[in-house]
Chain A
């Protein structure tokens, strides 16, 4: 699936200074959600500590719980989200309108990550 991915507001610092991946070929397939994209970004593009970008655990409880010992990678990835304070836009609109991590990506979607945690 081809996606355009943007890192703004300081997020780019976690991705080696890259702020745009335009029409970027990803190995994600039909049915992939934002969670799959986050796992892909973590494994292939992050250049800094993943905990500055990702949150493992229930976003609703707000807990940054660590995965249980022995949890498989898939179990952990099913709880992946971004850290609170990072805004996610899907095609220039708030991901909270589209089910957040569970949004099903579509060909040519634009996903924007903007940090509110830097500067100011």
Chain B
């Protein structure tokens, strides 16, 4: 059989989807890490002294991200302080298992601990006791992802503030971003289509009237194929969970995902090609203004409207509950 295209010595262990080259396990681990390093350097994601929160779900992407960043930092001395940030949405049978995996990654024996500080922020503590289990009990399963998405977004911001983080890094990979490009295209959401490929996103415009600093987010695995992330985790024997959320059918994204995987089978470069198309659209549409940011009049968090999305949802949930409470109190 042929040899690794990089070291020309060892037998290959992987065909790389981005260019079809054959690489051995050792060369793959090296080049995968170095490509993430190149993404970090060429986009100037880190500055010395920065405090960087790694959004950690316990799944494959964020687990690989935490391991790769820790290794790269030892090799290239970014001079940043890493910590892990997890959100507990309050979903029994899903988040409890994955949080246990994050705790093992953070530093509990026996599995190759990274020794990183871990902050867990729960929906229950931030949003008046509204765990996702309770949300679904109240409103049913339909539309519950809206609540979870809005709450988790804000919880990440608040967790980052507790950690005094300057940057949040997330595990979004090339497949995720290509999927999002496709979905925005199919929905005709041009504003999101031109924004979703950005490697760094700021919620707040720093020159807006309500000049509220929001921790920027970035995606160091933006160009990393899901297949390679999974292979990396396999070769390094990383400890991650692969359970799906018990409430999320992800209907539309699921279709985009299946379609994308089929495209990839026929033409592996399709994933990066779609990302490049999205990036080209961004350049073509520069100059569009995003809504300016102010603060929520209820909780004080950054918001583009008078009351932030999370407070509006909590308010809606609280009204939902009133009939149930009254029902109990009513004479039968």
A94 contacts across to B, CB distance below 8 A = 12-15, 231
A93 contacts across to B, CB distance below 8 A = 11-14
- In the complex, whether A39 has a CB less than 8 A from a CB of chain B is no
Interface size bracket, B side:
35 or more
In the assembly, what is the distance between CA of A16 and CA of B228, in Å?
A: 27
Q: Which of A20-28, A42-50, A66-74, A84-92 contacts B (4 or more CB under 8 A)?
A: A84-92
A62 contacts across to B, CB distance below 8 A = 262-263, 265-266
Contact B265 A120 (CB under 8 A): no
Contact A119 B12 (CB under 8 A): no
Chain A: residues with Cβ within 8 Å of the partner, total of 27
In the assembly, what is the distance between CA of A8 and CA of B266, in Å?
A: 24
Instruction: For A95, give the chain B residue with the smallest CB separation.
Output: B15
A64 contacts across to B, CB distance below 8 A = 262
Contact with A along B170-196 (1 / 0, CB 8 A): 010001100000000000000000000
B266 contacts across to A, CB distance below 8 A = 60-62
The minimal Cβ–Cβ distance linking A16 to chain B, given in whole angstroms, is 15
- In the complex, whether B61 has a CB less than 8 A from a CB of chain A is yes
A92 contacts across to B, CB distance below 8 A = 13, 25
Contact B59 A119 (CB under 8 A): yes
In the assembly, what is the distance between CA of A99 and CA of B50, in Å?
A: 47
In the assembly, what is the distance between CA of A87 and CA of B59, in Å?
A: 17
The minimal Cβ–Cβ distance linking A109 to chain B, given in whole angstroms, is 15
- In the complex, whether B324 has a CB less than 8 A from a CB of chain A is no
In the assembly, what is the distance between CA of A86 and CA of B111, in Å?
A: 26
Instruction: For B94, give the chain A residue with the smallest CB separation.
Output: A119
B230 contacts across to A, CB distance below 8 A = 9, 87, 114, 116
Interface residues of B in 213-269 (CB under 8 A from A): 226-227, 229-231, 234, 240-244, 257-258, 261-266
Contact A84 B265 (CB under 8 A): yes
- In the complex, whether B82 has a CB less than 8 A from a CB of chain A is no
* Contact for A84 among B1, B22, B261, CB less than 8 A: B261
What are 30 contact pairs spanning A and B, CB under 8 A? A8-B234, A9-B60, A10-B242, A59-B265, A60-B265, A61-B266, A62-B266, A64-B262, A84-B261, A84-B262, A85-B257, A87-B230, A93-B14, A94-B14, A94-B231, A96-B15, A97-B12, A97-B13, A97-B14, A97-B22, A116-B60, A117-B257, A117-B261, A118-B244, A119-B240, A119-B241, A119-B243, A120-B57, A120-B59, A120-B176
